[in-house]
């Protein structure tokens, strides 16, 4: 007799895994729970909307450098065009026998920086050849309008305060305050 069983009994098939039981069956939610869930979702929606609305009321602010600067004592300027602030502020300070104005050194054609040519008594733009008088009026080239002047004040200290955020270039307006400061002191 052999040790081998001629009619081996097959191993029984593994029992199928029991299905996972959901923690809470929909049928387990009461009507009250369902209503509460709805209210919670609605509240979340309104909270998100309110947050978005509040964000809209406080837009991003771009902090740019101030357009206002102190150009120093008026008494420190000679008659004529000063290029002292050209590189730093892009402004010429112009002193006439009766006062001051501050000209924004930006060509009104495409925005290049003109140069002051004292021997020719004019501003000349190196880009496309626009020429301007000492007052800023166009006398040659494609520039469509006069140069802009910036607001200028005389502080109690005697300093000139220039504000490039406020500009004017219309004859009749640009020659008066706040775009011209009367000044006849030495």
Which residues form the interface with ligand FES (CB under 6 A)? Answer: 107, 109-112, 125, 127-130, 141-143
Least distance (Å) from ligand FES to the CB of residue 142? 6
Please state the closest distance from residue 70 (CB atom) to ligand FES, in A: 29
Which lies closer to ligand FES via its Cβ, residue 112 or residue 154? 112
SS (H, E, C) 29-73: CCHHHHHHHHHHHHHHHHHHHHHHHHHHHCCCCCCCCCCEEEEEE
* Tally of CB atoms within 10 A around 102: 28
Least distance to ligand FES from the beta carbon of 147, Å? 10
Rounded CA separation 69/54 (Å): 35
CA distances from 110 to 129, 141, 142, 143 (A): 11, 12, 9, 8
Q: Would you say 148 or 180 has its CB closer to ligand FES?
A: 148
Query: In 10 A of CB 67, how many CB atoms?
Result: 14
CB of 126 within 8 A of CB of 112? yes
Rounded least distance, CB 111 to ligand FES, Å: 6
Beta bridge partners of 167: 150
Q: Name the residue nearer to ligand FES (CB basis): 76 or 141.
A: 141
Nearer to ligand FES, 99 or 141 (CB): 141
User: Closer CB to ligand FES, residue 55 or residue 128?
Assistant: 128
In the complex, least distance from residue 168 CB atom to ligand FES, rounded to whole angstroms: 20
Rounded Cα–Cα distance for residues 70 and 68 (Å): 7
């Amino acid at each position: 007799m052999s040790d081998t069983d001629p009619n081996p009994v097959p191993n029984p098939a593994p029992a199928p895994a029991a299905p996972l039981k959901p923690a809470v069956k929909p049928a387990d939610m009461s009507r009250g729970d369902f209503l509460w869930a709805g209210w919670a979702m609605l509240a979340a929606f309104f909270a998100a909307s309110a947050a978005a609305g509040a964000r809209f009321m406080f837009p991003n602010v771009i902090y740019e450098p101030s357009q206002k600067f102190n150009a120093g004592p008026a008494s420190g300027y000679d008659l004529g065009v000063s290029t002292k602030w050209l590189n730093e502020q892009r402004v010429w300070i112009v002193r006439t026998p009766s006062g001051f104005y501050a000209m924004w050194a930006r060509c009104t054609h495409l925005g290049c920086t003109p140069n002051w040519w004292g021997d020719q008594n004019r501003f000349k733009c190196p880009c496309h050849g626009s020429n301007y008088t000492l007052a800023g009026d166009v006398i040659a080239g494609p520039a469509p309008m006069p140069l802009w002047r910036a607001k200028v004040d005389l502080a109690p200290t005697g300093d000139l305060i220039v504000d490039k955020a406020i500009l004017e270039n219309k004859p009749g307006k640009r020659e008066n305050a706040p775009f011209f400061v009367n000044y006849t002191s030495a």
